[in-house]
């Protein structure tokens, strides 16, 4: 592997000195990859408009093709951070307007490219904000294949397209998950549940390994719904989570939430060790796991 800085006129940061990540990685077979620390791009999906594509300028690598806003990762920058930064720099994508759903990683050993698939939660207009773009367009999913695509994006598009229909959700039986932990929860059910919610918030932010959900790709960011009951209903809401306060039996509310999510087309996993509840939600089509699944590596 060889690291080579860009030649004059080749891509670099538009707003200042070249970042250490702005360099070519040349594999032993001579193949060139952009980004010393790898690269990342954002596939923003809007069900009404399609996916946001960038028409690359002719002088760029694989120029005059269509692909995703993206570029070289900075040192110690996560894939998600890089994809959001690059898409903001190249297409004016507001970080608050998209919610990551999954990360698909292409890794050749000496270099990797992370595609962050994100749902548009607040419509926005893309803006050309650096010299690497000829134009930006929202392209209907069915029309993407008709464009002259960047070879890397063309190779990954069939899998990415199939995953646009996959929307996982995790429903957590809070009382059941809190119960086995001997931390005095019986003295302060709301406090114990608040500690659980903080754990789940971190899980929702960091994502789940695809294998734990039985899904393709590498990392998923499912909707996490937590059902609380009894005294635990006094717990505060937590960002990144959906907290549902059961009016009666928590099990019935979990079944209702699972039914609603499945009817909405979600792939649902219910976390509980209650055998009767597991049988009820399995009959609906949900997968089930015990509380230890939440802390599995």
- What's the pLDDT tens digit per position in 5-25? 666 555 554 555 568 888 999
User: How is residue 26 written in tokens?
Assistant: 């040349």
Determine the pLDDT at residue 139. 98
Coil vs helix vs strand at 138: strand
Percentage, residues of the chain above pLDDT 90: 74
Question: How many CB atoms sit inside 10 A of residue 57's CB?
Answer: 15
Determine the pLDDT at residue 242. 97
**Better-scored residue on pLDDT, 167 or 9:** 167
* Spatial CB neighbours of 179, under 8 Å, sequence gap ≥ 6: 185
pTM (two decimals) = 0.88
Question: How far is residue 66's CA from residue 106's CA, in Å, rounded to a whole number?
Answer: 18
Per residue in 240-297, pLDDT tens? 999 999 998 899 999 999 999 999 999 999 999 999 999 999 999 999 999 999 986 5
Per residue in 199-235, pLDDT tens? 999 889 999 999 999 999 999 999 999 999 998 999 9
Nearest-CA neighbor of 164 among 120, 225, 208?
Answer: 120
Options 3.40.50.2300, 3.90.79.10, 3.40.50.2000, 3.40.640.10; CATH for 2-163 is: 3.90.79.10
Question: How far is residue 124's CA from residue 258's CA, in Å, rounded to a whole number?
Answer: 32
Per residue in 122-142, pLDDT tens? 999 999 987 878 999 999 999
Helix (H) or strand (E) holding 101: strand 98-107
What is the greatest pairwise CA distance in the chain? 68
Q: Using an 8 Å Cβ cutoff, are 72 and 36 in contact?
A: yes
187 DSSP 8-state letter: G
Looking at CATH, the fold of the domain delimited by 168-295 is given as: Rossmann fold (3.40.50)
Spans of all domains in the chain: 2-163, 168-295
């Amino acid at each position: 592997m060889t690291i080579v800085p860009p030649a004059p006129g080749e891509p670099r940061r538009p707003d200042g000195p070249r970042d250490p990540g702005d360099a070519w990685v040349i594999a032993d077979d001579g193949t060139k990859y952009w980004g010393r620390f790898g690269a990342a791009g954002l596939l923003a999906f809007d069900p009404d408009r399609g996916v946001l594509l960038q028409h690359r300028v002719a002088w760029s690598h694989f120029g005059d093709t269509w692909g995703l806003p993206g570029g070289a990762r900075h040192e110690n920058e996560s894939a998600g951070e890089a994809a959001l930064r690059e898409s903001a720099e190249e297409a004016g994508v507001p970080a608050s307007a998209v919610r990551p759903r999954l990360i698909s990683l292409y890794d050749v050993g000496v270099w990797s490219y992370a595609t962050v698939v994100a749902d548009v939660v607040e419509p926005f207009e893309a803006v050309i904000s650096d010299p690497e773009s000829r134009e930006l367009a929202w392209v209907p999913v069915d029309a993407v294949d008709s464009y002259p695509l960047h070879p890397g994006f063309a190779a990954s598009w069939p899998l990415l397209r199939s995953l646009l229909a996959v929307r996982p959700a995790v429903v957590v039986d809070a009382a059941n998950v809190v119960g086995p932990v001997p931390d005095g929860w019986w003295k302060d059910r709301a406090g114990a549940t608040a500690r659980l919610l903080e754990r789940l918030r971190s899980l929702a932010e960091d994502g789940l390994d695809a294998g734990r959900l039985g899904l393709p790709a590498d990392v998923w960011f499912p909707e996490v719904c937590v059902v609380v009951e009894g005294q635990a209903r006094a717990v505060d809401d937590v960002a990144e989570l959906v907290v549902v306060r059961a009016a009666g039996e928590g099990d019935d509310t979990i079944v209702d939430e699972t039914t609603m999510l499945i009817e909405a087309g979600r792939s649902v996993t219910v976390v509980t060790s209650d055998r009767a509840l597991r049988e009820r939600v399995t009959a609906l089509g949900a997968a089930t796991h015990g509380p230890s699944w939440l802390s599995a590596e």
